[in-house]
Structure 1
Amino acid sequence: MLKIFNTLTREKEEFKPITPNQVNMYVCGPTVYNYIHIGNARSIVAFDTVRRYLEFLGYKVKFVSNFTDVDDKMIKEANREGITVPEVADRFIKAFYEDIAAINVQKATINPRATDNIQDIIDFVKVLIDKGYAYESGGDVFYRARKFKHYGELSDQNIDQLVEGASEHIGEAEFDKKQDPIDFVLWKKAKPGEIKWDSPWGEGRPGWHIECSVMSTKYLGETFDIHGGGQDLEFPHHENEIAQSEAKTGKKFVNYWMHNGFVTVENNEKMSKSLGNFVTVHDLVKKTNPQVLRFFLSSTHYRRPLEYSEANLQKAADNLDKIKTAYNNLKFRLDDAKDTDDEEIVSQTQSIIEDFKNAMNDDFNVQNGLTEIFNLVSLANNYSSRDTVAKNAVNVILKAMADLTSILGINLDSQQDLSEEIQQMVDQRDQARADKDFATSDKLRDQLKDMGVILEDTPQGTRWHIND
């Protein structure tokens, strides 16, 4: 039985989708004015892992994640480069797809863009005005946060404290336009030279919060199963989404709210573009094996902080290498495996799979799930060292390892082929060993190691793998 920690209730709850065997899921996507950094990627990978596990359980997942392709940052970047906002968006959306492909993230079912849904946004805002939840002021449209009686519940904040905080950080011009300091913008009046659209309130563009309410309900329905995002989105973004959506529909917006922890750097500081301490995925995959980066990002429970460091990346590389080596050593044994059964090994494997599911059913606890994957590694290592192995048992273990690691976005069958030159060196070393020319054998082994090819001598012959 899968249980999910619901940020709204602060409890683990049994997962019951609205439609049997179907999960409708929305995750807030990036503002596309720059390359994604690994803080962004942590959220992307966390919810890709959630999606993969739901699919492993047999659910059909409709996964929607938006692109914010117009906002102040987009306009600033376009002005800096002397190009249009859509040109900035197109470039970084293309880069986004390239970067997530590198770390083996599945594409969303739908990636809607805010600018493709302007009329839907305008229509949504009209309803909020008609219901008395929103008002126009000087070309802007604001939402009356105090009118929504549940405002602050998701982020567990008192509305009077929110009023005090809002009063301290909004400018005088904005303060004069608002009826209440905690009211938030739904539609922004365009400044001279800015990208804009016609609306009943004059030329302008949508506020940030409204776009996710519009696009999530448009593609997933007025109530859907899971809404995810980083912890920094709990307030105000997700709080405002709830207020807008439930005011419009009169229905519960989302059944399960999930929020991932931050990526931190030195001194436990949050990684973010605003702090200037970020590392982009675009740059990192050029110098780090993308599978190692994926493994690093997916091997910590999604709600816990994840510390980025070279040492932790190396630890991830070492652990992934242990998994791959065990898998490939066992796969190598298929060549001499007997066409027989080994029910005991099959039973042990199935037991580990069940223990993995029990771990993941506890709010997607990948750390405990990894413990079971390494139990499979131990089983694979022990079995591959036997004098004789049964083909069915080898295949069962291999399939279990491939299936469980694929939930973390790791493809164990992604071994690359050796170049002709390197293959010749491996063959020459095999011949040198057969001729008991150990000096030549050792020399070739060292040369191959310097080239990143690691050799393993087994009773069944020489195995190799690329050093990550």
Structure 2
Amino acid sequence: MQAWTKPDIPAVPGPARRLRLHDTASGGLVEVPPATGGTARMYVCGITPYDATHMGHAATYVTFDLINRLWRDAGYDVLYTQNITDVDDPLLERATATGVEWTDLAAQEIQLFRDDMTALRVIPPQHYIGVVESIDLVAGAVEDLKQAGAVYAVDGDLYFAVKADPAFGGVSNYDRDTMRELFAERGGDPDRDGKQDPLDSLLWRHERPGEPAWDSALGRGRPGWHVECSAIALKYLGMSFDVQGGGSDLIFPHHEMSASGAQVATGEHPFARAYVHQGMVGLDGEKMSKSKGNLVLVSKERLGGVDPMAIRLALLAHHYRTDWFWTSSDLADAQARLDVWRGAIGRGAGPDGGAAVDAVRAALANDLDSASALAAMDTWSTTEGEDPDAPALITQAVDALLGVKL
């Protein structure tokens, strides 16, 4: 599947910093350069294409765009893969409710997402992969799990037996009661009769009347959610890639199950070297979600005349691991900040640009402390100076490191 247009990324002089990120699995900060060679590998879970792109989505992809940019600044090649869950129950339910063909709804929302990512200057993945185009790949992954003795059937549906992975639970570190509760809330079926363990996850759903299905070696049906990411990541990145990313609501079951499936299928460990998770973005005291209908959409703001760079700055004002609530002042504050920065660039001279760039790099390398990076830029923008080269350097650095075009 086609991704979107890659923005130009200027080179920035001066020494880069080694990036440290919070790893959910270990609970601490870890350095995340490539394990070998000069290529950093990252997988970020993509959208289910309906109601795209809300600010929670945008915050997630801007966060992992920062990682991409910092790796590139440090001289690494970056191999980035993102999926699209372009067939799943929520998409089918929305299509039925709105009277739109599910394929048309998915295509419309994927294009909207592409347009939003382009406007926000998010670097696209090299591999942008839909589930529909990966049916054979997913079926092959399920066959590998069969060979490992980790698959069983319930009324024709195929399930992954989590007991097959001794490391199961090592991503989230949740207790079983918490796992079961979250599994029920987030698309799982812990109470289905015939399952060997309430936490076992669906790998392949056999064909139901009125639902899309595909022929495969597993019979006619469609993939379960978690195995799709295992299969796509293994195909395009291989095991033990550097960062597995997504929202914090994916810690369990999605990232736990994806990791376990890959580890059992390959007999290797770990699936990813670091699990990095974006906090939730809410509105009016509640989680911002499709089901609640309380979405602030990037496209609506853009079409209403909001500068996409102000949207990006509004997101960067919050630390990625923090849950926060969108308010009407977020965009106003971000636009005011953007105006100050652009005004400072237009003065034609400023204080030492190298010191400001170093401060931005240091803040971002420290677990993506974007708020401190913005504060460093605020200080530069409101300080008088006589360096005629500083505005050009700052323009390059803010573009390359923060993704903000001045």
Report the TM-score when normalising by structure 2.
0.89
Q: Return the match for 2:174 from 136, 139, 157.
A: 157
Note the alpha carbon deviations across 1:268-322, whole angstroms, 9 max, x for none: x211111221122121212222221111012322111232111122111111111
Partner of 1:56: 73
Q: Return the match for 1:403 from 397, 400, 406.
A: 397
Which gives a bigger RCO, structure 1 or 2 (Cα 8 Å, sep 6+)?
2
In structure 1, what is the Cα distance between the partners aligned to 2:185 and 2:282?
28
Q: Return the match for 1:253 from 271, 285, 293.
A: 271
Consecutive unaligned residues of structure 1, counting only runs of 5 or more, are 334-344, 384-388, 413-468
Shift in CA distance, 116/165, structure 1 to aligned 2, threshold 3 Å: closer
In structure 2, what is the Cα distance between the partners aligned to 1:18 and 1:257?
15
Shift in CA distance, 403/33, structure 1 to aligned 2, threshold 3 Å: same
Note the alpha carbon deviations across 1:220-266, whole angstroms, 9 max, x for none: 11221111100000000001011101011122210011001111222
In structure 1, what is the Cα distance between the partners aligned to 2:147 and 2:359?
53
Note the alpha carbon deviations across 1:414-467, whole angstroms, 9 max, x for none: xxxxxxxxxxxxxxxxxxxxxxxxxxxxxxxxxxxxxxxxxxxxxxxxxxxxxx
In structure 2, what is the Cα distance between the partners aligned to 1:168 and 1:321?
43
Q: Does the Cα contact within 8 Å between 1:32 and 1:88 map onto a contact in 2?
A: yes
Equivalent pairs counted in the alignment come to 387
Q: Does the Cα contact within 8 Å between 2:190 and 2:198 map onto a contact in 1?
A: no
The CA deviation at 1:161 is 5.3
Partner of 2:210: 193
Shift in CA distance, 44/134, structure 1 to aligned 2, threshold 3 Å: same
Q: Return the match for 1:28 from 36, 45, 63.
A: 45
Q: Does the Cα contact within 8 Å between 1:85 and 1:195 map onto a contact in 2?
A: no
Q: Return the match for 2:326 from 285, 290, 308.
A: 308
SS of the aligned residue for 2:30 comes to strand
Q: Does the Cα contact within 8 Å between 1:24 and 1:61 map onto a contact in 2?
A: yes
Shift in CA distance, 14/126, structure 1 to aligned 2, threshold 3 Å: same
Q: Does the Cα contact within 8 Å between 1:264 and 1:271 map onto a contact in 2?
A: yes
Aligned residue runs from structure 1 range 24-423, under 5 A: 24-159=41-176, 162-163=179-180, 175-251=192-268, 252-267=270-285, 269-287=286-304, 288-330=306-348, 348-379=352-383, 382-383=384-385, 393-412=387-406
The CA deviation at 1:171 is 9.9
In structure 2, what is the Cα distance between the partners aligned to 1:173 and 1:297?
36
Please say which of residues 40-49 and 144-153 is displaced more in the overlay: 144-153
In structure 2, what is the Cα distance between the partners aligned to 1:182 and 1:204?
22
Larger Cα Rg: Structure 1 or Structure 2?
Answer: 1
The CA deviation at 1:85 is 2.8
SS of the aligned residue for 2:389 comes to helix
Shift in CA distance, 225/410, structure 1 to aligned 2, threshold 3 Å: same
In structure 1, what is the Cα distance between the partners aligned to 2:158 and 2:78?
35
Partner of 2:7: none
SS of the aligned residue for 2:353 comes to helix
Shift in CA distance, 198/67, structure 1 to aligned 2, threshold 3 Å: same
Note the alpha carbon deviations across 1:12-35, whole angstroms, 9 max, x for none: 112231233311111000001232
In structure 1, what is the Cα distance between the partners aligned to 2:186 and 2:312?
38
In structure 2, what is the Cα distance between the partners aligned to 1:275 and 1:233?
18
Consecutive unaligned residues of structure 2, counting only runs of 5 or more, are 1-17
Taking only the aligned residue pairs, the percentage that are identical comes to 32
In structure 2, what is the Cα distance between the partners aligned to 1:264 and 1:200?
42
SS of the aligned residue for 1:45 comes to helix
The CA deviation at 1:129 is 1.4
Q: Does the Cα contact within 8 Å between 2:80 and 2:125 map onto a contact in 1?
A: yes
The CA deviation at 1:207 is 0.6
In structure 2, what is the Cα distance between the partners aligned to 1:225 and 1:394?
40
In structure 2, what is the Cα distance between the partners aligned to 1:326 and 1:112?
41
Please say which of residues 348-357 and 251-260 is displaced more in the overlay: 348-357
The CA deviation at 1:194 is 0.9
Shift in CA distance, 107/265, structure 1 to aligned 2, threshold 3 Å: same
Report the TM-score when normalising by structure 1.
0.77
Shift in CA distance, 149/161, structure 1 to aligned 2, threshold 3 Å: farther
Q: Does the Cα contact within 8 Å between 2:24 and 2:274 map onto a contact in 1?
A: yes
Q: Does the Cα contact within 8 Å between 1:299 and 1:408 map onto a contact in 2?
A: no
The CA deviation at 1:48 is 1.2
Partner of 1:340: none
In structure 1, what is the Cα distance between the partners aligned to 2:346 and 2:89?
50
Shift in CA distance, 197/173, structure 1 to aligned 2, threshold 3 Å: farther
The CA deviation at 1:122 is 0.5
Q: Does the Cα contact within 8 Å between 2:179 and 2:253 map onto a contact in 1?
A: no
Shift in CA distance, 168/90, structure 1 to aligned 2, threshold 3 Å: closer
Structure (1/2) with the larger helix percentage:
1
